[in-house]
Amino acid sequence: MLGANLMENVEHQTLPPDQQQRETTPAAPTPVPSNRSSFLVPGIVLVLLFALAVAYGIHSRAQHEDSVKASTEAAAIPTVNTTYPSGGSVAQDIILPGNVQAFIETPIYARTNGYLKKWYFDIGAHVRQGQLLATIETPEVDQQLQQSRAELERIQANSNLAGVTSERWDALLAKHAVSQQEADQNKSNFIASQAAVDASRANVRRLEQLQSYERIVAPFDGIITARNTDIGDLIDAGTSNPRELFHLSTSGKLRVFAAVPEIYSSQIHDGDTATLSQDSNPSQVITGKIVRNSNAINTTTRTLNVEVDVDNMGANLLPGSYVFVHFKLPAGSHVVTIPSNTLLFRSEGLRVGVVHSNNKVELRPVTIGHDYGSTVEITSGIDAHDQIILDPADSLTTGTAVHPNLLAEKGAH
């Protein structure tokens, strides 16, 4: 050990001074790896991973909230069923009650006083113009006629005498045997007697005419629909309310009167065809023609009186029948037809919900032409290209966003 130390001292002394100084300075210790650096990197990584996880969670939550918000907003937009109007209105067949009347009918009264002597035709009988229906005994008229004829003969004889007298006085006047005044007086008497003859002759003709009324004849061809007299009945033609003896009407041609509501009056035209039906024979269809109308609305019923003439040579209808008149109304060319369940009744008037291309609703005012029940005719407000909402909610307003669900099969056609 000692030798070794000596050797180290000798070697140390033999070295240069700067070498010796370096040798005598203790060497710096070699760095040894520390435990802190071994934990630093994993910690940073963990912090970064945690920050990423937090950021991802925040981002996911924000996305979820946006998705929920979008879903909520989408769920808040209602889905509505829609359809399109049908172009133009449908031809309408309106059915109205009608009263059938004979084309010509008249009650037959007596024009002279007496007693019914005989009648020749009863109800349902077909008669010709001029045929004798009944005869009346008129003894008073006969006596008055005889008296009037006798009175005519007397007055006529007086008139002849007055004429002869006037001629004689004219001859005497020419000889200046009488005065002008006397001649004029006789001439005046003759003229007055002629007037009396004319009056008496007129009275005879009047009584002869009354006597001719003993024969009651048919004024036209037709059917006796009523007989209200019998043999021996007193006939008094001078009362204010005389009794009807017969009722005569034609059946070959009939008139049918129908009261058309004012809303349809502008679509009824003379010359158009109408058909008739009746409950007694529903399968039978009778064709008639509109020949005239009153050209005025009844202020009480607000209807137009329309006459339809029907040829009835086959006796398919009877005067006085109750029938149904079918009028064909033409379809409108500038209107559309929509379902009735598209209408909204608001205080400001009727509205229809129209969906635009941006799925926003517009409430449009509309005007109804005709109501067909399940559908209505619209004359203004919408056209055939508008998408309209079926069964709109009462809360629907202009500008509301909707999801339209087009139901083509439920259109207004």
HEC readout, 238-302: CCCCCCCCEEEECCCEEEEEEEEEHHHHHHCCCCCEEEEEECCEEEEEEEEEEEEEEEEECCCCC
| Whole-angstrom distance, CA of residue 383 vs CA of residue 381 | 7
48-64: string of b/e by CB count within 10 Å (b at 16+)?
Answer: eeeeeeeeeeeeeeeee
pLDDT band at 184 (very low <50, low <70, confident <90, very high): confident
Q: How far are the Cα atoms of 2, 15, 28 from residue 12, in angstroms, in the given order?
A: 15, 6, 20
| Whole-angstrom distance, CA of residue 167 vs CA of residue 183 | 9
> Which is nearest to 367 in space by CA: 353, 354, 385, 349?
349
| Whole-angstrom distance, CA of residue 406 vs CA of residue 75 | 19
pLDDT band at 200 (very low <50, low <70, confident <90, very high): very high
The topology under which CATH files domain 253-329 is Elongation Factor Tu (Ef-tu); domain 3 (2.40.30)
Q: Where are the domains of the chain?
A: 79-89+334-410, 105-227, 253-329
Give the DSSP H/E element, type plus range, for residue 41. helix 36-76
Asked if the domains at 79-89+334-410 and 253-329 fall in one CATH topology, the answer is no
pLDDT band at 120 (very low <50, low <70, confident <90, very high): very high
Q: What is the pLDDT of residue 61?
A: 77
Is beta strand 105-108 parallel, antiparallel or unpaired with respect to 246-249?
A: antiparallel
Six token digits for residue 26: 């203790």
Residue 348: Cβ within 10 Å count: 7
> Which is nearest to 212 in space by CA: 110, 115, 335?
110
* Residue range 347-404, pLDDT digits in tens: 888 999 999 989 899 999 998 877 778 888 888 888 888 899 999 988 888 988 998 8
Instruction: Check if the beta carbon of residue 379 is closer than 8 Å to that of residue 335.
Output: yes
Q: Which of 6-10, 12-16, 329-333 has the highest mean pLDDT?
A: 329-333
The topology under which CATH files domain 79-89+334-410 is 2.40.420
Q: What is the pLDDT of residue 135?
A: 95
Q: What is the pLDDT of residue 409?
A: 46
Q: Which CATH code, of 3.20.20.140, 1.10.260.40, 1.10.1200.10, 1.10.287.470, is assigned to 105-227?
A: 1.10.287.470
pLDDT band at 241 (very low <50, low <70, confident <90, very high): confident
Q: What is the pLDDT of residue 147?
A: 92
Instruction: Check if the beta carbon of residue 102 is closer than 8 Å to that of residue 79.
Output: no
